[in-house]
Structure 1
């Protein structure tokens, strides 16, 4: 048994890690329950998001897909329930992970402000899969040695918790700071949010052009980004 698996079993035996795994299951399930119910009831998800917002375009189209929209809601509810039941939590985590990865890619592609939270949800989902590695490893595409869990003579205890939770806070801080500087311009969740960023922008006039393109003209994000780049070049030339 290598050292990594020894650390894994030490974490599995620690009450703080068990509580954290339980917290992740509850938090992830809580995120899917209301989202699933909205779809089952036939209401548009994120109703406060304008239709001209890049993600708003997506939600409008998804809302019009009929029973496929309802199907997504049912799957989310089932996944949440499976996560909450200890005996089925691994199946719930296996279902949750590809769904939340898809949502995460979508939020980054549309420059949605909720990318930070969704990224943390992906990491929490990944943690749950690692937490059940002892059950999951039997379906992995490589041979697993037949070993018994090691006898823990001197568990790391407090030191292991500090390393894990300290590292987790560092990752969260990195996500928050990294996503803040990830894009030069974002559409925001509303026209007002979009225009608020123009005051601190290096190209305020080009920023206003971008917001007009998104919320006044309803153009796709890629087209508006191209318009933004052109506007920057124009104002840079005028400035000379």
Structure 2
């Protein structure tokens, strides 16, 4: 089956859209932790992993910058419309993290980062046609046009972004109301998922 046929498949589009959501979500907790200036781990500095993260934490603004970069990549992926830019930023960051988890022998973490690497590569392959003009000098090159992202996914991405931001930012700092807030936000996430998918699959003839 040709790439353009795969690209126009409703199921394939649904899979990529939600893979972007999943990958984008992965950076929110750790990114927000760095952005607000908290330590990412409590591992002792006697351990090479703990020493490494403590050194990053003590770097000051660079620690916050890492958080900004992760959150930015996550938000761009969640928007769907600017997902390619988010994917490129995410790819640069996750490649660095992947190498770190391998070199420092993180127990089990390298499996997670490897899966994230595979996911982001799949997303890059999906949008590779948008990158062709950057690496090709052919004047007669024709890039096929594919339908834009459905607005329902953009709206859903905004909802997910707001919910994940509040979950990552405020939940760790709240005590009495944290349980209620978490329940409300998780409810909104579930509602967003159900409504967006219902609207999308309701019209089966419509191509994303």
* Fold conserved between structures, TM > 0.5: yes
Partner of 1:140 in structure 2? 135
Q: How does 1:7-86 map to 2 (within 5 A)?
A: 7-47=2-42, 49-86=43-80
CA displacement 1:168-202 (0-9 Å, x = unmatched): xxxxxxxxxxxxxxxxxxxxxxxxxxxxxxxxxxx
Change (3 A) 1:67 1:16: same
Aligned CA RMSD, in angstroms, stands at 1.9
Alignment of 1:1-240 (within 5 A): 7-47=2-42, 49-113=43-107, 114-141=109-136, 143=138, 146-147=141-142, 149=144
Aligned equivalents of 1:12 and 1:144: distance in 2?
A: 24
Report what 2:151 is aligned to: none
Please identify, of 75-84 and 138-147, the stretch whose mean Cα deviation from structure 2 is larger: 138-147
CA distance in 2, matches of 1:60, 1:147: 50
Segments ≥4 residues shifted beyond 6 Å: none
TM-superposed CA distance for 1:147, in Å, is 3.7
Q: 1:64: Cα distance to partner?
A: 0.1
> Which has the greater radius of gyration?
1
Q: TM-score, normalised by structure 1?
A: 0.56
User: Does structure 1 conserve the Cα–Cα contact (< 8 Å) formed by 2:17 and 2:80?
Assistant: no
TM-score normalized with structure 2 length: 0.64
Q: Distance in 2 between matches of 1:147 and 1:71?
A: 39
Q: Deviations over 1:87-136 (max 9, x none)?
A: 21010001110110000000000110200010010111111111111211
Cα distance in 2 between the residues matched to 1:92 and 1:9 = 22
- Count of residue pairs the alignment pairs up: 144
**CA 1:149/1:54 → structure 2, altered by over 3 Å: closer, same or farther?**
same
Q: CA deviation at 1:37?
A: 0.7
